[in-house]
Amino acid sequence: MSDTPNWKEKTILVVEDEEMTRFFFKTALQMTQVNLLFAKNGMEGVTMAQQNRNIDCVLMDIRLPGIDGYEATRQIKANRKDLPVIAQTAYALSGDRNKAFESGCDEFITKPIRILNLFEILTKYLR
């Protein structure tokens, strides 16, 4: 893609328990040169977001083992209110979008995720 963003100075934390989805993000975002960090559950995501001040954005799965993405987002935002969190889920039920925003998420995208849509949303937060 000729208009592929260059985010080599940026870091995204992907909080995702599904290996296939982690692989999707790694593959989709590698052309942007972004630094990717991965957490496999909500608690690990909270810890990483609190310990690594270089994280510029979080891609947060909603359905996670242990604490879910809503609670993980609340905990992240308690310490880093300006860190953008983008909720992503395959199980978008009515009310999930509102629940995501109420927990502090800045955006909400549903799986399957289209790469151009992902780039468009991330561009807003990685300027």
Q: What SS3 state is found at 36? A: strand
The two tokens of residue 69 are: 């993405």
The pLDDT tens digits for 52-92 are: 999 999 999 999 999 999 999 999 999 999 999 999 988 76
With pLDDT > 70 as the criterion, what percentage of the chain qualifies? Answer: 98
Residue type, 63: R
- What confidence score (pLDDT) does residue 92 get? 67
- Rounded CA-CA distance 116/28 in Å is 10
Lowest mean pLDDT among 11-15, 77-81, 93-97, 110-114: 93-97
- What confidence score (pLDDT) does residue 97 get? 87
- Rounded CA-CA distance 76/94 in Å is 24
- What confidence score (pLDDT) does residue 95 get? 83
With pLDDT > 90 as the criterion, what percentage of the chain qualifies? Answer: 87
Other Cβ atoms less than 10 A from the Cβ of 120: the count is: 12
- What confidence score (pLDDT) does residue 2 get? 55
Closest listed residue to residue 24, CA positions, set 66, 16, 64: 16
